[in-house]
Amino acid sequence: MKFTEKLERLEQAGFPIRYADRGEWRPTGPYGWNASRSYATAPGTWDMSERVPSYVSHRSVHNLPEENTRAFVDLGDIARGDDRTGQNSTVDRSNYRSLLEAYPDTFTPISYPDTDTLGAFVGNLPDEVVEVVAGLKCDYSLFNEEDMSALESDEIQESYGQWARSDVAGTLDDESRDLWDALDFVKLPAEVTPDGVETPERWAQEDLFWDAYSRNEGNDYATHTGTEVSWDFDAMAGALAERLDEHFSADPTAEVAGQDTLPGLDREAGE
């Protein structure tokens, strides 16, 4: 595919073709005061940067060609990094990291104050990648389904410590909440399962929470909308209450309040 054909294919797909700096001014010195009494340097040289720069600032990307710029395609419509406001979708964020991993030394992300978007100097794009990004724009928007699934699963897991733990606990009935609070600061010891799998030390509340979550029988206690995690607090609280009751029923003589040990658990000071 010729360079002009790459440009045409990318433009047909709807990507904006812009122009980015491929070099930087390197003064050769020496430094000194010039005739206008402003600090300046003696003549320098314009050095080309590496073939595939790691990043390019959004300030260095122009709508019209300028001296020392090269054709640059903005791929922000299909691939974006993490952002401070949480508005970039899991499709865009998965595409961003998956494409960078699948095609190293190919893309040059555009750095913005709140996020990064994928971009590339058109001359650096192999024919295959031109077709891949065009397909993501025009046909199917997701590059790696497995990666996006893992991304959303990780963010559901992260939401436990951020807010789901307290919100689900707040939905428990009084009796179940007492059982839950009894496990506060309690850790399960490390162990090795009969099949040789090592399980590290972990917090009892978190362990029971995710064990209850895994018994969902097809119910989605938590879903990812693409930009945020959404929990069904009532359903998850019901599942957690059942798991708590099951756990404490293993030792009917155990006291809930003020106990130092629980069946299979050791109480420790919180971190």
pLDDT digits (tens, 9 = 90+) for 11-30: 999 999 999 986 654 555 55
Strands (E), the chain: 17-21, 23-26, 31-33, 39-41, 45-48, 56-57, 61-62, 69-74, 110-111, 116-117, 119-121, 186-188, 191-192, 198-199, 202-203, 222-224, 229-231, 261-262, 265-267
Q: What is the mean pLDDT of residues 200-204?
A: 92
Question: How far apart are the C-alpha atoms of 125 and 74, rounded to whole Å?
Answer: 12
On whether the CB atoms of residues 232 and 155 are closer than 8 A, the answer is: no
pLDDT the model gives residue 33: 47
pLDDT band at 55 (very low <50, low <70, confident <90, very high): confident
Q: Of 179, 99, 97, 85, whose CA–CA distance to 134 is shortest?
A: 99
SS3 103: coil
**At residue 133, what is the residue type?**
V
Give tens-digit pLDDT for 140-160. Answer: 999 999 999 999 999 999 999
**At residue 44, what is the residue type?**
G
Structure tokens at 81: 């990094």
SS3 4: helix
CA 243 remoteness from chain centre: 31
pLDDT the model gives residue 256: 47
- Could you tell me what percent of the chain has a pLDDT over 70? 81
pLDDT the model gives residue 265: 47
Q: What is the mean pLDDT of residues 117-134?
A: 95
Q: Is the pLDDT of residue 39 over 90?
A: no
pLDDT band at 68 (very low <50, low <70, confident <90, very high): confident
Q: How far is CA 75 from CA 98, 113, 246, in A?
A: 14, 17, 52
Give tens-digit pLDDT for 234-270. Answer: 999 999 999 999 989 876 555 444 344 444 444 343 3
On whether the CB atoms of residues 72 and 18 are closer than 8 A, the answer is: yes
Q: Which DSSP string corresponds to 40-67? A: EES--EEEE--SS-S-EEGGGEESS--T
